[in-house]
Amino acid sequence: MSGQEFFQAGERVGVLTTQPLDRLLDYRAPEGGCFLGAYVEVPLGPRKVLGVVWGPGAGDFDSAKLRAVIRVLDVAPMRTEMRQFLGKAADYTLTPMPAMLRLATRAPGLSDPPSMRKILRRGEGVPDRMTEARTRVLDVLEEYGGLAFTPKELADMADVTPSVVKGLVKQGALREEEAPRDTPYPHLDPELPSKQLTEDQAKAAAVLAEGVHSKRYGTTLLKGVTGSGKTEVYLEAVAAALRAGRQALVLLPEIALTAEFLTRVEARFGAKPAEWHSGATMTERRRVWKMVGQGAAQLVIGARSALFLPFRDLGLIIVDEEHDTSYKQEDGVLYNARDMAVLRAAMCSAQVVLASATPSLETWANAEAGKYNRLDLTSRFGASVLPDMRAVDMRSEDLLPSTWISPTLKQAMKLRLERGEQSLLFLNRRGFAPVTICRACGAQVACDHCDARMVEHRFMKRLMCHQCGETKPVPEACPSCEVEGKMAPVGPGIERLAEEATSLFPEARIAVLSSDLFGSARALKSRIEEIAKGEADIILGTQLVAKGHNFPLLTLVGVIDADLGLQGSDLRAAERTFQLMRQVAGRAGRAERPGEALMQTFQPEHPVIRAILSGDEESFWKAEAAERQAAGVPPYGRMAGIILSGPDLAAVFDLGNAMARNDGPLRQIGAQLFGPAPAPIARVRGRHRVRLLVKAPKSVPLQEALARWTAPLHLKGDLRLSIDIDPQSF
Ligand code: ADP
Ligand code: ZN
């Protein structure tokens, strides 16, 4: 650890803790001293808390009363680049440092001493007799070569009862050993043969590899339609990082996709990488955290919070599906993982690859401005082509009331059934019907705690609030006028569409893919695998199906309501609709069979619908960019949302009005203030939410002005304030 600052025992150090305090605390360095960046346990009042040695002590605290660091944890000290990254991320998102440190130490049991566990290896003994179960156990060990497993893992993998394993131990065919619980990950080998890349792909891979070898910061937009081989290409950039002895991180937006991805990594590099997401067990998370810090995890596949892992030498970050809105964390620390990836890479001289078929306008504009490099994969791999896209003009289609599948779409589905191919109907609405209305008085059922309608879910026979998850039975009588038997569903949800598809095609096998219908990511994954094998004729899906699943037999995509995303005043609506529709259409015709996409719309002449159909992306982006530029909004201006919330609406508005009256710091930088107005979601879990929007020119110190504006506020009672830099909707 040469060159790193070291504090001798007894020296005064400043420690950043995870406790909500606005300053570092002074302690005496422990016996044996400690490095700058050391993870430590310190006394705070009667408690012990986790902290990091952040620098020398400030010295303004009485030396005689100074307490000592309790102990230094047995993990590598936080690197300087990581401390800088947390500091900059805190400044950018206006997040207090303790909250940043909490993000970076989300490994349960971090401060536990390294514990031991029992593992099994092949022993010398010969079993008295071989049963089929015993053979399976020994085969598993054989298959995994030198690896060792706990008794439970081994029994699970061989699919035998624990007693079979115990029996083999007793007879000496298995030998018990003690091993540290946190074991390194198996080695990934970049020299294993890769797929034969096409010329286009090979060129892109070479450019990315060159970036990795430069050991400098750089960001590249890797743009290519679904199926063009973006994943194959960036896996070669990962190989380049591994060859250079540096670590790589791949961020994925959706947990359901992880398993498929792990298999691909294993096929390329011979072993599975480390995984980091909220579904991982405590033990697994602690293992990842520690191994990443030691450099013993070469590659991590993770959700957005993986950016805050203590990599020892991070050389490459891939953000797959970079436009995906789930990269924006919407509670606690409000950050966009795509932007934080770029910041992190700049701190540690790493390369970033932003991969997408439909990049965000922000990323497109950065590439246009020359801040990011851009690589395009223009054709799909193999013979497959993009589907033929057409609008179905709903004004001239003959539909019965309460039906949504047009005759044109129905005809196309019938053709697929006859050919033994699959159709996918896309409707981005969970549940049976978006609205339940009383036909006597017109009242709708609303959530008791939120400003949202309750959505009927027939599958679970209840109404559900999509804001807070609260459910209640479908009422017999109207809650407002008390007339019985008049509550009726209005509009289509995915479950209702399934009913319609069933009545049109009673013989067809129909599968509904909606996140609320699956208890676990695993259940969803196995259903998707079945469908990919052809175990469904008609697939109905919400947003979930837009993302990366590969259904070889799928040749028709029907978008039930292409206009859905274009309603409302959100300035990002056009971009979202464009991305979603192109992604969904991209599901059809991935393999040898050409596909067709039909978009049902009442406004086929709408510029966004026209752009979707023509596929002329560059013109779409240029037009969209011009509009945003004229409005002075991101990425051509800066925005921040301030959400105020509390149980009493008047008090929340009073605070908002007071803030609006005292907006001097904002005016000084030429920023405009809008509101207070009810937030896009005006009430959640009984708390009223009011929003102020700040719009500022691109080059002004917005964060600093926001800090000066909000710092003098004293939030009384149950009032809360959170600042959202670059809000998703504006
Ligand atoms: P994308 O990430 O752009 O959607 P993928 O990398 O997933 O594209 O590629 C789509 C499919 O085509 C995958 O099954 C992939 O294995 C296959 N593929 C892409 N390029 C090649 C290649 N050069 N050789 C063999 N298979 C390829
Ligand atoms: Zn609710």
Give residue 468 CA to ligand 2 midpoint distance, Å.
Answer: 4
Q: What is residue 2's predicted lDDT score, i.e. its pLDDT?
A: 41
Specify the amino acid at residue 142: E
Cα 401 to the center of its chain, rounded Å:
39
Q: Does any ligand 1 atom lie closer than 6 A to the CB of residue 194?
A: no
Give residue 141 CA to ligand 2 midpoint distance, Å.
Answer: 51
More confident residue, 601 or 59: 601
Closest protein CA for atom 19 of ligand 1: 229
468 is in an annotated binding site: yes
> Which tens digit of pLDDT belongs to each residue from 540-586?
988 777 666 678 888 898 989 888 877 665 677 778 778 877 777 77
- Give the least confident one: 344-353, 407-416, 469-478, 690-699: 469-478
34 is in an annotated binding site: no
Q: Collapse the DSSP code of 76 into the 3-class scheme (helix H, G, I; strand E, B; otherwise coil) and give the result.
A: coil
Closest-approaching ligand to the CA atom of 547: 1
441 is in an annotated binding site: yes
Q: Does any ligand 1 atom lie closer than 6 A to the CB of residue 196?
A: yes
Cα 251 to Cα 89: distance, rounded to the nearest angstrom: 18
Angle at 185 between CA 184 and CA 189, to 5 degrees: 130
Helices (H) and strands (E) in the chain, counts: 20, 31
> Which tens digit of pLDDT belongs to each residue from 451-485?
778 888 887 788 888 777 788 888 888 888 888 88
Residue 21 pLDDT > 60: yes
Cα 335 to Cα 259: distance, rounded to the nearest angstrom: 26
Q: What is residue 181's predicted lDDT score, i.e. its pLDDT?
A: 67
Cα 274 to Cα 506: distance, rounded to the nearest angstrom: 45
Contacts of 212 (CB under 8 A, 6+ apart): 237, 240, 241, 244, 246, 315, 316, 351
Closest-approaching ligand to the CA atom of 204: 1
Return residues with CB closer than 5 A to ligand 2 (ion).
447, 449-450, 465, 467-468, 470
> Which tens digit of pLDDT belongs to each residue from 42-89?
999 899 999 999 999 887 777 778 899 999 988 889 999 999 999 999
- CA-wise closest residue to 433 among 511, 485, 478, 497: 497
- CA-wise closest residue to 259 among 279, 245, 242, 281: 279
Q: What is residue 1's predicted lDDT score, i.e. its pLDDT?
A: 42
Best residue among 231, 233, 353, 550 to mutate for probing ligand 1's pocket (most ligand atoms within 8 Å of CB) is 231
Q: Does any ligand 1 atom lie closer than 6 A to the CB of residue 358?
A: no
Contacts of 211 (CB under 8 A, 6+ apart): 218, 220, 237, 351, 373
> Which tens digit of pLDDT belongs to each residue from 212-255?
999 999 999 999 987 789 999 999 999 999 999 999 999 998 66
Best residue among 238, 381, 386, 590 to mutate for probing ligand 1's pocket (most ligand atoms within 8 Å of CB) is 381
Give residue 637 CA to ligand 1 midpoint distance, Å.
Answer: 37
DSSP state letters, 433-445? BSEEEETTT--B-
Contacts of 210 (CB under 8 A, 6+ apart): none
Cα 352 to Cα 219: distance, rounded to the nearest angstrom: 5
Give residue 464 CA to ligand 2 midpoint distance, Å.
Answer: 8
348 is in an annotated binding site: no
Give residue 553 CA to ligand 1 midpoint distance, Å.
Answer: 17
Q: Does any ligand 1 atom lie closer than 6 A to the CB of residue 236?
A: no
- Is residue 214 within 8 A of residue 221, CB to CB? The reply is no
DSSP state letters, 97-162? HHHHHHHHT--TTTTSPPPEEEEEEE-S---SS--HHHHHHHHHHHHTTT--B-HHHHHHHHT--H
- Give the least confident one: 267-281, 374-388, 604-618: 374-388
Please give the number of the atom of ligand 1 that sits closest to the Cα of 264.
16
Q: At what angle do helices 521-532 and 258-269 cross, to 10 degrees?
A: 70
- Is residue 111 within 8 A of residue 73, CB to CB? The reply is yes
Cα 516 to Cα 648: distance, rounded to the nearest angstrom: 32
- Is residue 250 within 8 A of residue 320, CB to CB? The reply is yes
478 is in an annotated binding site: yes
Structure tokens at 437: 């209305």
Best residue among 201, 208, 232 to mutate for probing ligand 1's pocket (most ligand atoms within 8 Å of CB) is 232
Cα 101 to Cα 20: distance, rounded to the nearest angstrom: 10
Residue 561 CB coordination number (10 Å): 20
Give residue 372 CA to ligand 1 midpoint distance, Å.
Answer: 24
> Which tens digit of pLDDT belongs to each residue from 148-175?
677 887 888 788 888 999 999 998 889 8
264-278: average pLDDT: 90
Q: Does any ligand 1 atom lie closer than 6 A to the CB of residue 229?
A: yes
Tell me the range of 103-117, 403-417, 447-461 where mean pLDDT is highest.
403-417
Residue 365 CB coordination number (10 Å): 20
- Is residue 104 within 8 A of residue 82, CB to CB? The reply is yes
Share of the chain above pLDDT 90, in %: 41
Q: Does any ligand 1 atom lie closer than 6 A to the CB of residue 230?
A: yes
